């Protein structure tokens, strides 16, 4: 991982020195290839796998191995249910939920932005309950981390993540995937810039078990590219870095014949 990053950073610097051109602004016409050069340049500045500075906010990687920067800040907007999200995602989020409702469904946001203090409280409470159940401090901390993200490693702290459930089934478990709401969201979320962040078969890479309710905003263009790639976000960010190498395969990353 580290070596790949270092190599990616070096390549990025080389690219910057030789052929820097301003990256195109997101035009909404959604071509995955547009984003590749951007991500390369960013590797030199932003090791967390981000893109251009103006895109970095929605490309931020937060997982058990990538802690939120201590100076992280976000401008929040409060939703009608009192929960908060990064104000830059509100329009797409509202569009997605409105269209989901138009399809006759009832999606409910049950978790959105969480400040560090909230995450700390959840985490400490979990440890306390485990301690009370007989765990040692050490094993309790380990076990707690499986259920509640260690403070600083929860994507909910970015304001870009949402847990959305069906009004008819508000339990966060695997059965959630069978609700009409999740089926609709999984099929359409990319159209609004969201990805299902923790797919069933990527737990070892994401560090989080299957969560058929946790959606993460990455922007429409990126969400479409992630969907087409069949990769999880970690893999996708890595692919951006390696795709930068000398023989840039720019045009259409794939014309897949269906098999993914
Ligand atoms: Zn979540």
Question: What are the residue boundaries of the structural domains of the chain, listed by start?
Answer: 57-114+154-231
CATH number of the 57-114+154-231 domain: 3.30.1380.10
Distance from the alpha carbon of residue 245 to the mean position of ligand 1, in angstroms: 34
User: Model-level pTM?
Assistant: 0.72
pLDDT less than 50: residues of the chain: 1-2, 6-7, 10-50, 248-260
Per-residue pLDDT, 187 = 98
Instruction: Calculate how far, in angstroms, residue 47's C-alpha sits from the geometric centre of ligand 1.
Output: 24
* CB-CB contact of 254 with 201 (8 Å): no
How confident is the model at residue 207, as a pLDDT? 87
Annotated active-site residue in 35, 46, 181, 211: 211
pLDDT at residue 48 in the model: 46
211 assigned to active site: yes
CA distance 230 to 214: 17
Tokens of 180: 């009409």
Cα angle, residue 193 at apex, residues 192 and 196 outer, rounded to 5°: 105
**What's the gap in Å between 163 CA and the centre of ligand 1?**
5
Q: Please write the tens of the pLDDT for every residue from 198-243.
A: 999 999 999 888 999 999 999 999 999 999 999 999 999 999 988 7
Gap from CA of 110 to ligand 1 centroid (Å): 9
Query: In angstroms, how far is CA 30 from the centroid of its own chain?
Result: 18
Q: How far is Cα 116 from Cα 95, in angstroms, rounded to an integer? A: 28
């Amino acid at each position: 991982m580290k070596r790949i990053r270092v190599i990616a950073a070096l390549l990025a610097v080389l690219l910057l020195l030789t052929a820097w051109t301003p990256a195109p602004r997101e035009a909404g016409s959604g071509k995955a290839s547009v984003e590749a050069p951007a991500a390369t340049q960013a590797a030199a500045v932003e090791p967390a796998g981000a893109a251009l500075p103006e895109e970095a906010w929605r490309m931020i990687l937060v997982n058990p191995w990538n802690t939120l920067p201590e100076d992280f800040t976000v401008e929040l907007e409060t939703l009608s249910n009192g929960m908060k999200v990064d104000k830059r995602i509100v329009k797409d989020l509202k569009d997605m939920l409105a269209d989901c409702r138009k399809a006759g469904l009832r999606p409910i946001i049950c978790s959105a932005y969480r400040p560090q203090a909230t995450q700390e409280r959840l985490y400490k409470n979990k440890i306390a309950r485990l301690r009370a159940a007989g765990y040692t401090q050490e094993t309790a901390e380990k076990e707690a981390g499986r259920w509640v993200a260690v403070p600083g490693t929860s994507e909910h702290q970015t304001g870009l993540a949402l847990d959305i459930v069906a009004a008819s089934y508000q339990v966060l478990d695997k059965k959630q995937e069978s609700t009409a709401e999740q089926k609709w969201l999984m099929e359409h979320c990319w159209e609004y810039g969201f990805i299902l962040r923790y797919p069933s078969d990527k737990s070892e890479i994401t560090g989080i078990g299957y969560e058929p309710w946790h959606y993460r905003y990455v922007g429409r263009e990126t969400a479409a590219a992630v969907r087409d790639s069949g990769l999880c976000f970690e893999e996708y960010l890595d692919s951006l870095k390696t795709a930068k190498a000398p023989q840039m395969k720019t045009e259409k990353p794939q014309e897949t014949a269906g098999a993914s």
